[in-house]
Amino acid sequence: NIVYLNGEFLPIEQASISVMDRGFLFADSVYEVIPVYAGRPFRLVQHIERLNRSLNAIRLSLSDLNIQWNDLFSELISQNNLQQGSLYLQVTRGSPSKRDHRLADETQPTVFIKADCLASNSSKTQNEPEALKVITVDDFRWQRCDIKSTGLLANCLARQMAEDQQASEAIFIAGEQVNEGSASNVFIVEQGVIKTPPLSNNILGGITRDLVLEMADNNGWPTEQSSIRLEQLYHADEVWLTSSSREIQPVTQVDDKTIGDGAIGPLWHKIVHEFADFKQRLFSG
């Protein structure tokens, strides 16, 4: 596995950063996970835009480095011979000489990119879809969930709570309000309307979320970005999770409640079909 670290391409075993790195000490760092299909990054522009939003939000500028993301990704994909998988990209505020909460700006950021080869789950998802069970947990995260920060301890703990109950994901609930999964966005279908919580500081604006809304709009399927209560989640006709790695997955159980009649719903079949077509069109040229 060849990775990119601070201007160099090198085997992962040789890639190392300082123990003073603020990513390590403070989780002073942001990241992206970019799917790769047919050897090409998927929704690259949107991922880079979101990275820039995260960087701005934590007041970290990469302008001195003049990074050409496109070139770096192409090079890494080619060096790893990556067809299907993802790119993991992390930027930290680097390693100052002293541990200090203040954001010193003279340190060089750490830029790390790794290519991960993954057996595609998309064709499997479509042909033999697996209906998921999820649990809900109190949203005990900070109030800037719109930043794609590597400070993911709450997300990891929540995901493990799901695992402990043989569930695939934990959905964060604040009061009565559905926010998002530990590493995914949530959609429900209610009387034919595809609904997802609106963008806010309580959720990460998922790239897959945007794409689902876009595909639904293109097909004239009604969508609504509005807050969703826990009761609505329990009584929805369909529940889906979306993320770059999950793509669009159907949920048929939330806590001890069965969703709809317990079968994967018709709109899910339509949207994944649309998603497959979308990728096909994009990469067949």
Q: Which is nearer to ligand PLP, 95 or 202 (CB)?
A: 202
> Alpha helix locations (H) across the chain?
22-26, 44-57, 69-79, 122-127, 153-164, 207-218, 230-235, 266-283
Task: Return the range that interacts with ligand PLP (CB under 6 A); candidates 71-79, 94-102, 229-237, 238-246.
Answer: 238-246
The interface mask with ligand PLP, positions 23-62, x = CB under 6 A, is ----------x-----------------------------
Q: Please check whether residue 107 is in contact with residue 94, taking contact to mean a CB–CB distance below 8 angstroms.
A: yes
Which is nearer to ligand PLP, 185 or 252 (by Cβ)? 185
The alpha carbon of 261 is separated from its chain's Cα centroid by a whole number of angstroms, namely: 29
Query: Do residues 113 and 47 touch, judged by C-beta distance below 8 A?
Result: no
Nearest approach, Cβ of residue 185 and ligand PLP (Å): 5
Q: Report the nearest approach of ligand PLP to the CB of residue 212 (Å).
A: 9
Question: Binding to ligand PLP by residue 179, rule CB under 6 A?
Answer: no
Number of Cβ within a 10 Å radius of residue 89? 22
Q: Which of residues 95-134 bind ligand PLP (CB under 6 A)?
A: none
> Total residues contacting ligand PLP (rule CB under 6 A)?
13
* Residue at shortest CB range from ligand PLP: 206
Query: Any contact of residue 184 with ligand PLP (CB under 6 A)?
Result: yes
The reply to whether 243 sits near ligand PLP by the rule CB under 6 A is yes
Between 75 and 146, CB nearer to ligand PLP? 146
Chain-centre distance for alpha carbon 107: 28
* Residue 15: both structure tokens together: 């890639």
Residue 95 CB, nearest approach to ligand PLP (Å): 26
Closer of 96 and 211 to ligand PLP (Cβ): 211
Q: Determine, following the binding rule CB under 6 A, whether residue 141 of this chain makes contact with ligand PLP.
A: no
Helix %, strand %, coil % of the chain (to 5):
30, 30, 40
Of 188, 184, 195, which is closest to residue 222 (Cα–Cα)?
A: 195
Closer CB to ligand PLP, 56 or 78, in the complex: 56
| Member of 169, 180, 238, 274 binding ligand PLP (CB under 6 A) | 180
Q: Which is it for the CA torsion 43, 245, 139, 192, positive or negative? A: positive
Pick one of 89, 207, 251, 267: the residue that binds ligand PLP (CB under 6 A): 207
Is 195 labeled as catalytic in the residue annotation?
A: no
Question: Minimum distance between the CB of residue 187 and ligand PLP, rounded to whole angstroms?
Answer: 11
Q: How far is CA 230 from CA 81, 133, 136, 235, in A?
A: 44, 15, 9, 9
* Alpha-carbon span 84 to 68, nearest angstrom: 22
| 180 contacts 146 by C-beta, under 8 angstroms | no
Q: What angle do CA 143, 63, 113 make, to 5 degrees?
A: 70
* Minimum CB distance to ligand PLP smaller for 95 or for 137: 137
The catalytic residues are 148
Residues that bind ligand PLP (CB under 6 A): 33, 180, 183-185, 204, 206-209, 242-244
